[in-house]
Structure 1
């Protein structure tokens, strides 16, 4: 069957000066069509070009076309668009990606014409919007006329991507490569961020992510997960490797099970070939994919987005640097909202802790003058940097500030604490800022499975003040008596603050926690205090009663011994009540020897740290408990 194509555009009969014209975006910009319009633009002026992100040479935004075109973009991308916005020759309209289409359908931004790239029609006359369904479908359906650039290199994609050739008033045929972007190299910072984000993702989760280093790094560390799904406004090259790994099955999705759902894709030519006629990947309009209630239909929905800066209350700035608009709102708020409403969902903001070669902190006391809040403090659940995961949901302003200072770059932590103290966001007795334990390595959070349950070992930090109080008040009188040698009645905020505010460069304090979403419970704490006068340290630990006998104390002690050895400390001491036989047994199991004590009610033990064999054997024994 031969399908008749519409005629070439006669621009003088299709548009006029002052028209509002939509231009397809992302990787599907109809450049040949725009060039044809420019070539035949004599007599035209003040044509408003409306579009979202546009890859490639956005030549229509150049100074030489300022009389012909006025640009109105929903997302700032590329030098020409950014320069035009900065110079006032172009406008930026902030809007959620889920609501862009409604601007056309409800007449807020009525369209005189829509210019889009499509694949050649099939035998029945249907063309595909291919890699850029997004808001293009709505633009075509709501514009007075639609004009197509028919490009044989545009993939045919499954889903709701098809438009019949009869819906176009005019067209041109132009065979040109789609705009491509190569996957960025993953550096050490984004590598660590990816590892931390991956820790928040459980088997069977459904993922949303963008383009760039952080999504690439995260997907790299998810390749051993099982039954993951994808419901994401966009896809990039990084999906191909994780699909090949077998981690993506879409079986556990509760909305469009068995299918990857997306709205557009941007990447290499290899990606565009990958999505061509791929029945496992379905493209739908952004109004559908980004609708928060649709997103929330996926149980365990994980959204992964980025930010330019975050203040210490959790406000996220993503589209501006002070008064300079940098990008756009895009789909961040849509997916943060949808993931928040999802059963078991987790909205994550992931970003490097610094910018401009570590001279500027992205975590700030307050957002920059002129900057706008993209995602409110009430929406944020997790902020992830290369220094860890800040869990904010259900946290007070004080706890949020301390959590965020903990994941800021170490050289900015003292300043951040000093700034929030000015506003009484933290109490006067909060003197120390969070510090890392260098000997734990780049990743300060270590996952462990104990008798089938997942726990995490990490440094104790100032944000744990309330959790340590809860841990203290969970103990029986017997546990308190054996640990403290008396029956303490109270753990005040000030005392708890002192216990969790540790200079981890000299002393060391670790905890084992259970984390279910934003619910964090301390189950064991171990620490040592450094004695400078004889280069020794004194160790102690305590475990929640319900977890005793599972090896948590041994795990903490092994880690403390390892840290002390790496710090070249000569010996580790421990003091136990003589009737605390379980604790004495743990110390002796790991090589501690009893010393003579004049007090029969107390046992003093010592471990020379120049003899590693005993502890190494015990460590192997404990690891076999997994």
Structure 2
């Protein structure tokens, strides 16, 4: 390779041409500086790009006559300001479809300004840390103009370009931008913990950069056989790959390989991907294709949002009328994960803005904001207050699930707002409350006769599930539980039974979970008798699950919670002919007390003695 430092820009570009600038951590800053320095009589060059980690000198107002910006993803303050001031345009597009804009001449490119590694002995340079849409831009542009950077890693995959394809080039050493792992706070840690609960061994992950992805990765150290098929990777994947947690053995697409389109992080990451045969950098139109994404079984897509409304609509690129970022690959991966066998599309976000003054779970999206991901796409929404499961849920159920994971300071207001539009019926008067004694995740895993179950609070969105549970009972079960034979469980009645003030009373259930499908098998509840500082407890168990210890486990949990709340006694009324339930209470320490009824036995447990 002979030395070349001067580029004859006048032979490559003319006024009004359109150029592409390399992406993410591979912005050819020295090359752009050279163009500005030697631009002479050039004017109105349209600049097209996605996220660019750079000082973005082309967006400086002093270059407004030279450059006209049309960004496909807003990132960096200089470009964001230019868009806000009307000096630059924003063109929304799925990342998987941006290459089509170049190839089909919707945005024909006269030149692609890119950064590459030095050529190898065969004359091939690597696009290094950013293949993404750079590959398509290079294939579509009339001219490829390259900055050859000796500090650019040589990555594997479809990342190579031959020197014969390059119209002009210059050698210029440039340090890649360093984005250190973020400092995590309590809220982000909690979100990461919740998301990790949705990730099974053998799953394939899509993660981005920022606090939430790093928090999620931090809670995966005890997982096994994870894979990666992701638009990008960051430092968080390194330790998991080194420890063998991410080994790609169970991937059903590109088995054995971590697949990505670009990486952003520290020098450690850039060194790690350099020549690493276990990581393949492939073009965005391939990696971000929802069809290809779905070929990974158990595909987990983790994305964030600016706000989510109570129907599940996701705002991700704008704050009101202000465009902030872009569509990027969010919809590509959410759709791909939804189509995947066992896949889970997840939106994860803090429940409020940083200062806690504004809820990010909102009754309706902010005026001027745009929906990036529709209410039909989202399966899970995760905040620091829990996991809202939305797939297959009605608008009413979605609203109640999302209110449950909103910040407690805003739940009453959110319920009041949705009731105005009848999304939640008038008889739904109570907002979701928490059972803090069950721990941060309000969930306990149970292993009963080699089957996995979950013990958790009953929630307002369980209205239909509780109806189904009721109608599964035999007449005998209903008689033993209610002491008469009720024939109907109306929506209003079911709503009352699931909309419990869990800080006063208590309602727990044991569910069998298959994906997002949950079936209630047991319900236990107590009602506080405040004047006696006592509570009355009752159970009902699905007939097919009796004799397996579910009632015993529910009783133990409720007893522990009542005791921790300072309740003095727990009591129960049981029909004399309900021998199994009497046995459970007696084994739980309840003592028979005098009672007037000839049909019922009254039992009591002292909670605070000893």
Give the TM-score taking structure 2 as reference length. Answer: 0.98
Q: Report the equivalent of 2:394.
A: 396
Superposed displacement of residue 601, structure 1: 2.2
Q: Report the equivalent of 1:269.
A: 267
CA RMSD of aligned residues (A): 1.3
Superposed displacement of residue 462, structure 1: 0.8
Q: Is the aligned partner of 1:363 residue 2:361?
A: yes
Secondary structure in 1 aligned to 2:540?
Answer: strand
- What is the distance in 1 between the residues matched to 2:444 and 2:358? 28
Secondary structure in 2 aligned to 1:354?
Answer: coil
Q: Report the equivalent of 2:579.
A: 581
- What is the distance in 1 between the residues matched to 2:3 and 2:559? 77
Q: Report the equivalent of 1:120.
A: 118
| Paired residues of 1:388 and 1:445 also in contact (CA < 8 A) | no
Q: Is the aligned partner of 1:503 residue 2:487?
A: no
| Paired residues of 1:101 and 1:287 also in contact (CA < 8 A) | yes
Secondary structure in 1 aligned to 2:196?
Answer: helix
- What is the distance in 2 between the residues matched to 1:548 and 1:205? 34
After the TM superposition, which of the residue ranges 57-66 and 265-274 deviates more from structure 2?
57-66
1:171-225 residue CA offsets vs partner (Å, 9 max, x unmatched): 1111121011011112111111111111111111111111111111111222212
Secondary structure in 1 aligned to 2:563?
Answer: helix
- What is the distance in 2 between the residues matched to 1:573 and 1:243? 54
- What is the distance in 1 between the residues matched to 2:112 and 2:149? 16
- What is the distance in 2 between the residues matched to 1:469 and 1:33? 67
Q: Select which of 35, 38, 41 maps to 2:39.
A: 41
Q: Report the equivalent of 2:460.
A: 462
After the TM superposition, which of the residue ranges 12-21 and 143-152 deviates more from structure 2?
12-21
Q: Report the equivalent of 2:51.
A: 53
| Paired residues of 2:3 and 2:171 also in contact (CA < 8 A) | no
Secondary structure in 2 aligned to 1:353?
Answer: coil
Superposed displacement of residue 5, structure 1: 6.4
Q: Report the equivalent of 1:301.
A: 299
How many aligned positions are there?
610
Q: Report the equivalent of 1:620.
A: none
Q: Select which of 438, 441, 444 maps to 2:439.
A: 441
- What is the distance in 1 between the residues matched to 2:351 and 2:37? 47
- What is the distance in 2 between the residues matched to 1:318 and 1:176? 32
Secondary structure in 2 aligned to 1:431?
Answer: coil
Superposed displacement of residue 305, structure 1: 0.6
Superposed displacement of residue 590, structure 1: 2.1
Superposed displacement of residue 51, structure 1: 0.6
Q: Is the aligned partner of 1:182 residue 2:180?
A: yes
Q: Select which of 15, 21, 28 maps to 1:30.
A: 28
1:482-517 residue CA offsets vs partner (Å, 9 max, x unmatched): 111122111111100000010111111111212222
| Paired residues of 2:4 and 2:171 also in contact (CA < 8 A) | no
Q: Select which of 336, 339, 348 maps to 1:338.
A: 336
Gap regions ≥5 residues in structure 1: 613-626
Superposed displacement of residue 38, structure 1: 1.3
- What is the distance in 2 between the residues matched to 1:489 and 1:444? 32
| Paired residues of 1:5 and 1:171 also in contact (CA < 8 A) | no
Superposed displacement of residue 271, structure 1: 0.7
- What is the distance in 2 between the residues matched to 1:334 and 1:502? 39
| Paired residues of 1:471 and 1:522 also in contact (CA < 8 A) | yes
Secondary structure in 2 aligned to 1:241?
Answer: helix
Q: Report the equivalent of 1:212.
A: 210
Superposition map of 1:19-98 within 5 A? 19-98=17-96
1:18-43 residue CA offsets vs partner (Å, 9 max, x unmatched): 11110001011111111111111222
- What is the distance in 2 between the residues matched to 1:173 and 1:447? 59
- What is the distance in 2 between the residues matched to 1:327 and 1:358? 22
| Paired residues of 2:528 and 2:536 also in contact (CA < 8 A) | yes
After the TM superposition, which of the residue ranges 337-346 and 128-137 deviates more from structure 2?
337-346
- What is the distance in 1 between the residues matched to 2:473 and 2:419? 32
Secondary structure in 1 aligned to 2:411?
Answer: helix
Secondary structure in 2 aligned to 1:299?
Answer: coil
Give the TM-score taking structure 1 as reference length. Answer: 0.95
Superposition map of 1:126-141 within 5 A? 126-141=124-139
After the TM superposition, which of the residue ranges 317-326 and 192-201 deviates more from structure 2?
192-201
Q: Report the equivalent of 1:487.
A: 485
Superposed displacement of residue 434, structure 1: 0.5
Q: Report the equivalent of 2:568.
A: 570
Secondary structure in 2 aligned to 1:600?
Answer: coil
1:130-150 residue CA offsets vs partner (Å, 9 max, x unmatched): 110000011111101001111
Gap regions ≥5 residues in structure 2: none
- What is the distance in 2 between the residues matched to 1:403 and 1:48? 46
- What is the distance in 2 between the residues matched to 1:470 and 1:177? 62
Q: Select which of 585, 588, 591 maps to 2:589.
A: 591
- What is the distance in 2 between the residues matched to 1:28 and 1:517? 40
Secondary structure in 2 aligned to 1:307?
Answer: coil
- What is the distance in 2 between the residues matched to 1:393 and 1:449? 26
Q: Select which of 549, 552, 560 maps to 1:551.
A: 549
1:109-130 residue CA offsets vs partner (Å, 9 max, x unmatched): 0111101111111110111111
After the TM superposition, which of the residue ranges 39-48 and 126-135 deviates more from structure 2?
39-48
Superposed displacement of residue 406, structure 1: 0.9
1:562-616 residue CA offsets vs partner (Å, 9 max, x unmatched): 211221111111111122222222222222222122323212211111147xxxx
Superposition map of 1:506-517 within 5 A? 506-517=504-515
Superposition map of 1:375-390 within 5 A? 375-390=373-388
Q: Report the equivalent of 2:428.
A: 430
The structure-2 alpha-carbon separation of the partners of 1:10 and 1:532, relative to structure 1 and needing over 3 Å to count, comes to same
After the TM superposition, which of the residue ranges 205-214 and 595-604 deviates more from structure 2?
595-604
| Paired residues of 1:231 and 1:295 also in contact (CA < 8 A) | yes
Secondary structure in 2 aligned to 1:540?
Answer: strand
Superposed displacement of residue 8, structure 1: 3.6
- What is the distance in 1 between the residues matched to 2:555 and 2:390? 30
1:452-504 residue CA offsets vs partner (Å, 9 max, x unmatched): 32222221111110000011111122221211112211111110000001011
Q: Report the equivalent of 2:100.
A: 102
After the TM superposition, which of the residue ranges 590-599 and 339-348 deviates more from structure 2?
590-599
Secondary structure in 1 aligned to 2:182?
Answer: coil
| Paired residues of 2:306 and 2:317 also in contact (CA < 8 A) | yes
Superposed displacement of residue 6, structure 1: 6.3
Superposed displacement of residue 518, structure 1: 1.9
Superposed displacement of residue 158, structure 1: 1.0
After the TM superposition, which of the residue ranges 492-501 and 167-176 deviates more from structure 2?
167-176
| Paired residues of 2:150 and 2:173 also in contact (CA < 8 A) | yes
- What is the distance in 2 between the residues matched to 1:159 and 1:412? 48
